[in-house]
Amino acid sequence: MSNVNLAVNFAGVEMKNPVVTASGTFNPQAHSKFYDLSKLGGVTLKGVADVPWPGNPTPRIAETYGGMLNSVGLHNPGVEVLKAEDLPFMKQFDTKVIVNTAGHSIAEYCRVSEALQDAEGVDLVELNISCPNVKEGGVNFGTNPQMVEEVVAAVKKCTKQPLIVKLSPNVTNIVDIAKAAEAGGADALSLINTLFGMRIDIYRRRPVLAQKMGGFSGPAIKPVAVRMVYQVHKAVNLPLLGMGGIMTGEDAIEFIMAGATIVATGTANLVDPTAPVRIVGEMEAVLEKMGVKDINEIRGVID
């Protein structure tokens, strides 16, 4: 029996440990066949909109050095299906549930948030502001501080659960975006979302993804993610969910030391379905080896 305390409080929500799954990389029905989801601090369900989204044309997934590219396009069946299927399924597990929401306009974001208000079993809502704003010519909400503050303020008014705002790294200054989300009323921030990337099949003389470019994730982006978590932790007074290339318990502890309260596994879930629960055990073992009794002692220890 370990003497290490892994329990944390994230935006007022008590979690048994700081490991959750990242949106879009985790399917509760499939992953629960590999391990008991109750062993995790929480799970994040796939991004959901107010109505079904068809997603992007295929191919939309490709491997690359140190990670993967994806341009799935937030393919999802809509919030009513999530309420009818995923949320009832999650009731059997003793873990927190985060619902990731998407939209192409402030009205769409608000509609999906409002649809979750009567849903049982939603502990936190994660707002994906990397969606293109169709009313502003396709500019991503998350790349403009004024737009970030506006959408966060609007969604906060129609969300009863603590609101996490997921930040895009594809910006000049991540701190400006984080401060805008804080000003808009965010209860927490999650970072980072994927970087933009591209691969070309030189023999076919065309990009490997149908959309040409996609989100780059995996261990290769971890140094960028740790750096951004560190910068944001120093700049805002909000709890952080750190993610970006976490493959081991040591990786996760780096994010905690940089300032994250909890961490999420993403690409790791696709490589090893048991990665999240394995990382919980590895964190415990590493902290014990370091002589750390409580994970909260090491949060943000880097000056």
Q: What is the residue-wise DSSP string for 24-46?
A: TS--HHHHTTTS-GGGSSEEEEE
Point out the catalytic residue in the list 131, 147, 229, 232: 131
Q: Are 166 and 129 in contact (CB under 8 A)?
A: yes
Tokens 């959750």 sit at which residue? 20
Provide the CA 21 distance to its chain's centre, in angstroms: 7
Nearest to 244 by CA among 234, 258, 73: 258
Nearest alpha carbon to residue 245 among 228, 271, 266: 266
Is 131 an annotated catalytic residue?
Answer: yes
Q: Helices 174-184 and 222-235 sit at what angle, rounded to 10 degrees?
A: 50
Phi, psi dihedral angles at 199 (to 5 degrees) = -135, 145
Quote the tokens at residue 113.
């948030």
Q: How far is CA 151 from CA 18, 104, 141, 210, in A?
A: 28, 11, 8, 30
Active site residues: 131
